[in-house]
Structure 1
């Protein structure tokens, strides 16, 4: 593809994925909120404990080979068969490992109930090879419409399954059954549209470059999980299941804007950067654009949710989750930086520099894990404050180390994010001042609606004053053809 074709694919992909993502997440958020009302805090805590180990082991399931398929310039049929063979071996080993590992995990937490949860969840590893191959090829070919539609369909079906089971009283099992059903349906539909069930080749000959790249991405992902999940792991051994559940919900809510917005951009960005990997000037241009547009959305959404959290969380989740509010307040302010930091990985990986992100996560482990161990003495709030105090330092180091690969300076990044951060901060102060007046307009829901509308109007007016071009850039992104 030439640059114009890539730009067209990226724009088309962003529009389609954004539309599908918004539609899907409106449904997903609605389902999640209802499900949480039917799940006890201690049950959510059990699922969060199990998720830590599953998330760590699941990182190894891809072997980093999904990224390697997308980034490799010359991808032959022979390489695909060998990658498929490697994936099968990896995931059979992981399935046995986690199935048997459920017993020592339960012993660590002193929670026998977690054994059956983890063993059922381990079935997902058997589906991974059949999912990764077609997904990677869809991304490599930049066929976003198809893969987004499949993801939307399977996630909604899985979410409905979770909701039905939660309402019927299946508790924590509803949180496990839905994702498993979604994964199974995804495998079936992906392989119908992009058949990849070829005879696997278990030879490693000629695979050094692919395995080396994938291994670096894999190690990076593993270390990222170690430092990003260490807080819940440490909390699980010290705090009660209820307190772990409260902290996990605060993390989940604070991460929602990042988890739902960033994949849209990063899934499109990595293949596009890979196509442009020999043109650093164009990569730099699009990287800064991604920062501007991400900041334009991420900071007002996150800060806005923090500003209305004292009304929103009790109204949505019920009074039993009120302890989430102070934790969410702290996490919601710092997690937008996490979204900005994640923009670096697709860029550095695509230009063949995966070690940049590896260096980042090594630093993250060295700084965050000891900080969490110290902070647990102050309970869940101590863990949240660790994110607020230590993590911004890691983000700054990552940005400086990443952008120098494409000849950018930190000044360019600061300029791109200044207006959204400043206007969002002023908006947040206004929302908090309104909250402190203790004024209720008709009822809590009307009050929340007025606050959201007022915050949105203020933010748009502020951005028109400070950074009109960024608003026009966003409008042009979705209005152009």
Structure 2
């Protein structure tokens, strides 16, 4: 078997297990999440969203520093693993102290005392997360995603049920906080039981200097990326009411649901896969362009399809009290294929060590989005969503041009290769909106009719306009 086929089969096997693990939990989690949204208020989600700005930032930086260098390294000695384990334990402890001490300052900034309480409670998660870093990184490096998928499925299901029960019993926003803690605690416990770290931590820093250098650059990129994806809540939290932030948070979370489930799955597998062929840039370029095209054929109908029926879908699943979230949800969903595309380039750039490239790209994204958010925030939650529609595409044009130079693919060829898929998506949206002229009543039957009509029109459009990509997709899935 050729190296290409061996890697492809390994990726497909990993993808199968990660997808299976996500699929078995996702339907249940979505149902429970919508149930929780019906129970809680915009203010509850606003409080957690404001606290999450700091918590998610520190947690994302920590996981990037701890996990990515161990996956990207060409060779990995036991002494380096042990040394880096000690380094990550120190970093996570420092982050625990940092969040706990900054909690009151953040709460004062947003004029909400509950934010401090939330931050002080979930700061303890860092001490738990420190224990899972090495086992998780080594399993991902080995592409042993079956075990990771099973552990994630169990912890996510238990956490989702716990969150719902806490919401039912009147815990308010604490239901969301405690649910996250339960998920982390159970995941770490199961991981340590079934795949403990292969060595004890040491603190000989020189044994892991290459890992520390890569982790340092990754932390800079992660910090900037976090600033970018949380600009809307950070700026809106300073200028808008908690209720407006809660409305936008629910809209954003709904719009991001497909991306949060699909893209991490792809990133989780593609980063170690690209790392294994980091000395073969031509092969990476081939896979990048192919992944963009095949990824778009799946994600475009999901995002644009949800956008076209959001005015029917949201009232049906989370109630009329969230009607104000319909327009922001629709706007963000229409933009999501571009954001998906941008993030899909990142694993390859990381695997090749081009972190500086990612840093510059993120600076462009921050600059454009900052101007858009500050210009449109006066329109409330809808203004924050509109800022994504206006600011992100302008930045994406620059970033895409830079990626085309980095990975050496013709920009015109790339645009033409995805243009037919975009046209099929536009036909789907037009079909749904035309049908809405006749199915004016908002109910589940009409919702299913709209979804069915949109799906059929998209598939027919692909068969007519882009049959080649469908054939390529079939070959990619069925070949061994």
TM-score range for the pair, normalised by the shorter chain length: over 0.9
For the residue of structure 2 that corresponds to 1:62, the secondary structure is helix
Query: Structure 2: how far apart are the matches of 1:407 and 1:159?
Result: 44
Using the size of structure 2 for normalisation, the TM-score is 0.96
Distance in 1 of aligned mates of 2:153 and 2:128: 18
For residues 236-315 of structure 1, the aligned pairs below 5 Å read: 236-315=237-316
Flag as ranges the 4+ runs of structure 1 deviating above 6 A: none
* Contact map agreement 2:64 2:222 (CA 8 A) in 1: no
Q: Report SS of the residue matched to 2:230.
A: helix
SS in 2 for 1:322: helix
Q: Are residue 386 (structure 1) and residue 387 (structure 2) matched?
A: yes
Check conservation: 2:427, 2:461, Cα contact below 8 A.
no
Residue 99 of structure 1 is matched in structure 2 by 100
Question: How many angstroms apart in 2 are the aligned matches of 1:201 and 1:415?
Answer: 53
Aligned to 2:443: 444
Alignment partner of 1:228 is 2:220: no
Corresponding residue for residue 32 of structure 2: 31
5+ residue gaps, structure 2, are: none
Tell me the CA shift for residue 207 of structure 1. 3.0
What is residue 397 of structure 2 aligned with on the other side? 396
How far off its partner does 1:222 sit?
A: 0.8
Alignment-derived partner of residue 334 in structure 1: 335
Shift in Å at residue 63 of structure 1?
5.3
| Deviations, residues 161-180 of structure 1 (Å, cap 9, x unaligned) | 11111122211111111121
Name the residue aligned to 1:22.
23
1:152 corresponds to which residue? 153
Alpha-carbon spacing, 1:423–1:219, altered in 2? closer, same or farther (3 Å): same
CA distance in 2: counterparts of 1:25 and 1:81, whole angstroms: 35
- CA shift for structure 1 position 150: 1.2
Q: CA deviation at 1:45?
A: 0.7
TM (norm. structure 1) is: 0.96
3-state DSSP of counterpart to 1:330: helix
Instruction: List gaps (5 residues or longer) in structure 1.
Output: none
Cα distance, 1:197 vs. partner?
6.4
Whether the 8 Å CA contact 1:330–1:385 is kept in 2: the answer is yes
The answer to whether the 8 Å contact 1:65/1:210 transfers is: no
Query: Which structure 2 residues correspond to residues 65-84 of structure 1 after superposition, within 5 A?
Result: 65-84=66-85
How far residue 114 of structure 1 moved from its aligned partner, in angstroms, is 1.7
Deviation at residue 21 of structure 1 after TM alignment = 1.8
Q: Tell me, yes or no, if the aligned pair for 1:65 and 1:211 is still in contact at 8 Å.
A: no
Partner in structure 2 of residue 417 of structure 1: 418
| Worse-superposed segment, 158-167 or 395-404 | 395-404
Bigger mean CA offset, 143-152 vs 467-476: 467-476
Corresponding residue of 2:463:
464
Instruction: Give the count of matched residue pairs.
Output: 479
Distance 1:6 1:241 in 2: 48
Q: Does 1:46 align with 2:47?
A: yes
Secondary structure of the equivalent of 1:343?
Answer: helix
Write out aligned runs for 1:209-228 (5 A).
209-228=210-229
C-alpha distance in 1, partners of 2:64/2:449? Answer: 48
List aligned pairs for 1:145-224, cutoff 5 A.
145-196=146-197, 198-224=199-225
Query: Which residue of the partner structure matches residue 347 of structure 1?
Result: 348
Deviating more after overlay: 162-171 vs 60-69 = 60-69
RMSD value, Cα = 1.7
Distance 1:469 1:192 in 2: 47
CA distance in 2, matches of 1:50, 1:360: 27
